Amino acid sequence: MGVIAIQETPLHVLAVDDSNIDRKLIERLLKTYSYHVTAVDSGSKALEFLGLQDVENFQSFSSNQETDVNLIITDYCMPGMTGFELLRKIKESKSLKDIPVVIMSSDNIPARISRCLEEGAQEFFLKPVRLSDVDKLRPYLSKNERKTTNDDDDDDNDDGDDDVEGWSDEDEQGRSDEDERGQAVSMDQSS
């Protein structure tokens, strides 16, 4: 048996959403599972909390600072930095890339969903998020996942496809940012 530090502290989820209603909701949902929750209203605040400065090409990161965040759940449509951009920055960071990231969106856009999953998101939840969705987070938040030298559990989410709810090839709804470019268009609207 390897040495596994018994963690007394609850698992910590960082929730990112510019809607205060959705923040309240996700916070309550997560707390039903006794997770410790930090909720912020923007991608840049999330990065700040995680210890990364939100400067375009700023990659260096103080190795003294350890984040205790076990999972990040973020809205997709946010002013300033989208959830996709936040995901990208996290995956590009040596110190943060192993933290599982989940994206939430009220829009059922297949291109968006696959783009996020390809970029490394573990799950994509359609809003409104429900308890049954939060239940799917448990494998990413089990105590075993807390080892920093995680070998097999934080790579491709092979069995995650069926977790994408309502994924269809229907027309896009509302958001005009979806095109063939494999990158998020900067959401400069106030969403």
Give residues in contact with another protein (CB under 8 A).
19-22, 24-25, 28-29, 32, 77, 106, 127-128, 130-131, 173-176, 189-191
Q: Contact, 104 vs 125, CB < 8 A? A: yes
Please identify, using beta-carbon distances, which residue of 84 and 96 lies nearer to another protein: 84
Q: Classify 158 as helix, strand or coil.
A: helix
Least spacing, CB of residue 129 vs another protein, in Å: 8
Please identify, using beta-carbon distances, which residue of 23 and 115 lies nearer to another protein: 23
C-alpha distances (whole Å) from 180 to each of 3, 20, 89, 139, 184 are 47, 32, 21, 33, 10
Least spacing, CB of residue 14 vs another protein, in Å: 19
Please identify, using beta-carbon distances, which residue of 94 and 138 lies nearer to another protein: 138
Please identify, using beta-carbon distances, which residue of 64 and 173 lies nearer to another protein: 173
What does the CA dihedral 139, 82, 155, 61 come to, rounded to 10 degrees?
Answer: -100
Please identify, using beta-carbon distances, which residue of 67 and 191 lies nearer to another protein: 191
Q: Contact, 77 vs 51, CB < 8 A? A: no
Least spacing, CB of residue 61 vs another protein, in Å: 33
Which helix (H) or strand (E) is 89 found in, with range? helix 83-92
Least spacing, CB of residue 118 vs another protein, in Å: 24
How far, in Å, CA of 121 to CA of 5, rounded? 27
Least spacing, CB of residue 30 vs another protein, in Å: 11
